[in-house]
Amino acid sequence: MLYTKKFKDYLLYSIGEIILVVVGILIALYISNWNNDEIKKEIGISSLKRIKRDLNTEKYVLEDFKKRYSYTRKYLVDILYNGHKDNLDSIKFHFGPFVHYKMNTEYMNLKSSGQLNLITNNKLRNNLVNFYEVYYSIYNELEEEHKFFINSKVVDYFFNKFPSDTSNFVDSSAVISRLEDNDFKSIINAQITSLEYITNNMYIDKIGNLIKAVDVELKKK
């Protein structure tokens, strides 16, 4: 009986030790997982802040493009349709190709490292992926189409018809004399149409909505 009692006590002690070890392991795992979750949460917050910075920069750049293109369109419309003759010597400056500057550094970092899931809000993550994958493709098409127009129609015409100095200013009288040329009028009209199409497809409002959505998500953290 004494042996049996000692064996029971030993067994209970052993079970207690095992339970303590298991509980200790579970607590350690919980703390480790909690720490990992907190680290991921902090990394996710930092990533969202960098994405917001990228979006704000892109919005600013596109808004600046839109203002300049609006000015250029008015300048060209006035020359072609309203008979204005002011600042004709600077006409070359209004035929630069559209260039979309990619402001997607943080998105590309998350994508290339397989960490897009750090953005835990599924709707926000999908909207960001949609913007950077779909709308960037649209920007790329706008850029390529406008570059093709400038290189194929504008560059040679301006080089042959409007000799200029190194500053790219041209003789105003040469521009006036060419306003009766159908090819020149066609080029001006095509640039007016192109810039309107580009500005209508900049999706600045969409970028603004993404910035607001990121702000809402950051406030939850």
DSSP-assigned letter for residue 181: -
Confidence label for 5 from pLDDT (cuts 50, 70 and 90) = low
pLDDT at 217 over 60: yes
Report the pLDDT value the prediction gives residue 163, as an integer from 0 to 100.
81
Report the pLDDT value the prediction gives residue 131, as an integer from 0 to 100.
97
Report the pLDDT value the prediction gives residue 220, as an integer from 0 to 100.
85
146: tokens are 């406008």
115: tokens are 């960490």
Q: What is the DSSP string of 12-73?
A: HHHHHHHHHHHHHHHHHHHHHHHHHHHHHHHHHHHHHHHHHHHHHHHHHHHHHHHHHHHHHH
Q: Which residues contact 154 (CB under 8 A, 6 or more apart)?
A: 95, 187, 191
User: What are the tens digits of pLDDT across the range 132-187?
Assistant: 999 999 999 999 999 999 999 999 999 999 887 778 899 999 999 999 999 999 99
Average of pLDDT values for 109-137?
95
Report the pLDDT value the prediction gives residue 79, as an integer from 0 to 100.
95
Place of tokens 């008015």: 74
Q: Which residues contact 186 (CB under 8 A, 6 or more apart)?
A: none
Report the pLDDT value the prediction gives residue 70, as an integer from 0 to 100.
96
User: What are the tens digits of pLDDT across the range 83-113?
Assistant: 999 999 999 999 999 999 999 999 999 999 9
Whole-number percent of the chain with pLDDT over 90: 74
Answering whether pTM is above 0.85, one says no
Report the pLDDT value the prediction gives residue 69, as an integer from 0 to 100.
97
CA-to-CA dists, residue 140 to 32, 68, 144, angstroms: 45, 20, 6
